[in-house]
Each structure stands twice: as C-alpha cells, then as structure tokens.
Amino acid sequence: MSADGRNDGRGIQIPADVAAAVNLPEDLDANTLGEFTIPDITQRRSAGYVYVVAAALAAGGALAGLGFGYWIAAGVLAAIAVYHMASGKELHVYEDEALDLANRATDFAVGHASAVLGFDGLLARPIWNVLVFSADDPPSQRGLVRVDARAGSIIEQYVEPIVE
C-alpha cells in the first residue's frame, strides 16, 4: 500500500471480509501477517558493488606482488560484478499491472488469475507468468500469458479450452 492507502501494486492484499469468508488460515492471511512485497531486484546491484570492492582488493594484492592468482581473482570478481550490475535493473510492471495486461491479452473475460515473477535468459530478465481462467463457471478456457516486467509488453501467450 502507498502512504495514502491505495494499492500501489507492490504487495499482496486480501480483503479482510474475503479472508474471513473463506476461513483463510492465519499463516496465509496478509491482514494478520502484514503486507508482502516482491523483493526489489535492484538489490543485485548492491552485491555487484561488493564484488567491485573485492576485485579492487584482489588487484591491489596483485600490484603488491602477492602473485598472478590475484589478477585472475580480480578478473573473475570484476566479471561477476558486471553481471550483477547488468541484471539488477528496476521492475516497471508489478503484479496488479501484469494481471491487467494478461486480462487484456486474452480473447475471453478472465475470472481467476495468478501471477508469479520468474527470470529468463542470461541476464535474468524478470518475467511475470500469469495463469488465467475464463470467468464462466466452471471455467471453459485457461491460458498462460508471459509479461515482460520491465517493458510491460506481452512476450507470449497460450490459451486452450478446458475439456472435462
């Protein structure tokens, strides 16, 4: 929630009346446990800075004549630092917006939906994997919509009928 009480899309909110109606266990109730937020992946940059310092120390050891292995260590640590810096980019699309984009991407009215943040590729690009079900009862269609969490674009989608 933001400071003014609005949902900013960065956490999971369960209305108290819904939690009570379904008799949600206390360990799953966000109203009891407090707000859950998706960890910010820019924290990877902090790890990158630690690797930069370690690489500098290893390079300093190599310059002080401690051996060639320190140059190798400095190079490896610097490469790890570059990876962490490159993969620690900020999310621009959070769960609520990913659910909305998936709803608009399907040809049917979405009833139930669930979003999970995953990572794809060498630079760990954040991807929302959104599972959607049609709004009819029981659902007649289901689908998977993959949303780029940085650009907000639909990467791919798959929809199929539910056959009983």
pLDDT exceeds 60 at position 63: yes
pLDDT exceeds 80 at position 155: yes
pLDDT exceeds 60 at position 26: yes
What's the distance, Cα to Cα, between the start and end of the chain in Å? Answer: 40
- The neighbour count for residue 142, using CB atoms within 10 Å, is 18
pLDDT exceeds 50 at position 2: no
**Contact predicate 132/115, CB 8 Å:** no
**Contact predicate 10/37, CB 8 Å:** yes
